[in-house]
Amino acid sequence: MMDAIQPRAVKTRARLLATAQAVIAETGYGAMRVDEVVRRAGVAKGTFFAHFKDKDALMDMLIGAEMNHCLDALETGPAPRDTPALIQALGPLMALMTSERYVFDVILRHSGAAAREDIGPIAQALDRLVRQIASWITAGQFRHDADPELLAEGVQAFMAQAMALNFCALRGKQPLDARLAPFLTRWLSPETGLDPQGQ
Amino acid sequence: MMDAIQPRAVKTRARLLATAQAVIAETGYGAMRVDEVVRRAGVAKGTFFAHFKDKDALMDMLIGAEMNHCLDALETGPAPRDTPALIQALGPLMALMTSERYVFDVILRHSGAAAREDIGPIAQALDRLVRQIASWITAGQFRHDADPELLAEGVQAFMAQAMALNFCALRGKQPLDARLAPFLTRWLSPETGLDPQGQ
DNA sequence: TCCATAAATTGACCGCGGTCAATTCATCTA
DNA sequence: TAGATGAATTGACCGCGGTCAATTTATGGA
């Protein structure tokens, strides 16, 4: 009995999403204001929150979608067969995740889901990433004396740390890749952990 | 020429700090409100922000101080000589860092310093932690074929990931220690990465 | 065609962090 | 001791995310 969403609601939601994307395209994620979006979309503020739990939920969707585009590309492209190739493959995704401090913060906030039902797009994308990395590890020239899933989660941990350090003036403007390399080399290399340089 | 801070300012600042601590002791970090603190301290809101750059800066101090107490205990106590002991030693600090979602968020936000001059207490404490772990690694029964500093930073990355997953209903209510163990074992064990279980 | 019911939308309002021009207060100098 | 100078404090105000009772709009049944 009338529990279906009406067409106008679908339209409104679509307009809000489109407007938000337009605003973000102009000013970036961090500068997006709910007031600005609803003003441009020509709806009341309350309507926004009728369609999205909060501002973060919208960000989750939009950023998650962008991450998934990146992941699509990764899935399509050739599988990296060693650590340097892996780091290179991860480049675009990490660039996206660190494009703004605000974006990285949103991702961190959504990297774990609070409850079974509210796994957002970002959490899903990160999960997809781990599975992708695990499959690469299985197929490529990496160590195979450990659960690929575990290794993949480790890669994610190192990625997060490297990206966090990216917003830190201290550790120099060393590029992400360079900061990540020593960790991943040691974590993934098939030669049982040896490294003549000790570095 | 009068550029010294006046005694009353010192008093005011001290009263704000004490009041904030009292409020936090009652309600927790996340529920602390600047309005509540200034009301109880009997000062105007503007005064608060004359003494602390923003709310986060105060949190940085208070949480950083608590972390340093933990680190004092770690420095005093016996050095863990293997991975299980290391995990156990880190327990209290991780418990503090994950005592509230809000606390963990503040720590993440301050884990990297934006500029040379504004390294806050939390960033300092985390740096201190890495150096402490590195010294343990050097002294204990851990792998010595890699830079202890690098290994210590890796430990920090795994800690962060384990703690983040702590706020996630998915990965079960598995205790922090258990989530951390497989990573640290593989990362730190002196036997060159082998593990009969592959897990 | 008209009404009942629920979905969709509205906008005034709130909470809370943060700002700043104005004011008060302490200290130095003539 | 009377200005003069800057430190310290004040509180009205703002920006922005989020709420909710009230109102409008769409839809199914008689």
Domain assignments of chain A as residue spans, ordered by start: 1-52, 54-188
Q: What is the pLDDT of residue A35?
A: 98
Separation of B13 CA and D7 C1' (Å) = 14
Q: In a mutagenesis test of the B interface, which of A161, A183, A187 is the best target, namely the one with the most B β-carbons within 10 Å?
A: A161
Fold of B54-188: Tetracycline Repressor; domain 2 (1.10.357)
Nearest chain B CA: its distance from A127 CA (Å): 12
Q: What is the pLDDT of residue A173?
A: 76
* Chain Cα centroid distance, residue A179: 19
**Cross-chain CB nearest to A147 (options B167, B194, B199):** B199
Q: Does B44 touch chain A (CB under 8 A)?
A: no
Residuewise pLDDT in 10s, chain A (199 residues) = 456 788 899 999 999 999 999 999 999 999 999 999 999 999 999 999 999 999 999 999 999 999 999 999 999 999 999 999 999 999 999 999 999 999 999 999 999 877 767 789 999 999 999 999 999 999 999 999 999 999 999 999 999 999 999 888 776 678 999 999 999 999 998 765 444 443 3
Q: What is the pLDDT of residue A194?
A: 46
Q: What is the pLDDT of residue A172?
A: 63
Q: Which two tokens stand for residue A105?
A: 């913060």
Separation of A189 CA and D26 C1' (Å) = 63
Is any atom of strand D within 7 angstroms of residue A32's beta carbon?
Answer: yes
Give per-residue pLDDT as tens, B116-127: 677 899 999 999
Q: Answer yes or no: are the C-beta atoms of A154 and A97 closer than 8 Å.
A: no
Q: Answer whether B150 sits within 8 Å of A199, measured CB to CB.
A: yes
Cβ count within 10 A of residue B175: 12
Q: Give me the architecture of the B1-52 domain, per CATH.
A: Orthogonal Bundle (1.10)
- Between residue 119 and residue 158 of chain B, the positions with Cβ below 7 Å from nucleic chain D are none
Q: Answer yes or no: are the C-beta atoms of B38 and B45 closer than 8 Å.
A: yes
Separation of A2 CA and D26 C1' (Å) = 10
Give chain B's residues under pLDDT 50.
1, 193-199
Residues of B in contact with A145 (CB under 8 A): 193-195, 198
In degrees, to the nearest 5, what angle opens at C-alpha A112 toward C-alphas B160 and A78? 90
Q: What is the pLDDT of residue B139?
A: 95
Separation of A17 CA and C4 C1' (Å) = 34
Is any atom of strand D within 7 angstroms of residue B194's beta carbon?
Answer: no
Q: Answer yes or no: are the C-beta atoms of B154 and B187 closer than 8 Å.
A: yes
Q: What is the pLDDT of residue B172?
A: 63
Domains B1-52 and B54-188 share a fold: no
Give per-residue pLDDT as tens, A7-42: 899 999 999 999 999 999 999 999 999 999 999 999
Q: What is the pLDDT of residue A190?
A: 74
Cβ count within 10 A of residue B180: 23
Q: Answer yes or no: are the C-beta atoms of A145 and A160 closer than 8 Å.
A: no
* 8-state DSSP, A117: T
Q: Does A118 touch chain B (CB under 8 A)?
A: no
For residues B102, B105, B109, B110, the Cα torsion angle rounded to the nearest 10 degrees is 70
Q: Does A181 touch chain B (CB under 8 A)?
A: no
Amino acid type, B82: D
DSSP assignments along chain B, one per residue: ---SPPHHHHHHHHHHHHHHHHHHHHH-STT--HHHHHHHHT--HHHHHHHSSSHHHHHHHHHHHHHHHHHHHHHHSPPP-SHHHHHHHHHHHHHHHTSSHHHHHHHHHHSS-SSSTT--HHHHHHHHHHHHHHHHHHHTTS--SS-HHHHHHHHHHHHHHHHHHHT-STTTT--HHHHHHHHHHHHH-TTTS--TT--
**Cross-chain CB nearest to A146 (options B112, B161, B186):** B186
Residues of A in contact with B157 (CB under 8 A): 157-158, 160-161, 183
Q: What is the pLDDT of residue A21?
A: 98
Is any atom of strand D within 7 angstroms of residue A34's beta carbon?
Answer: yes
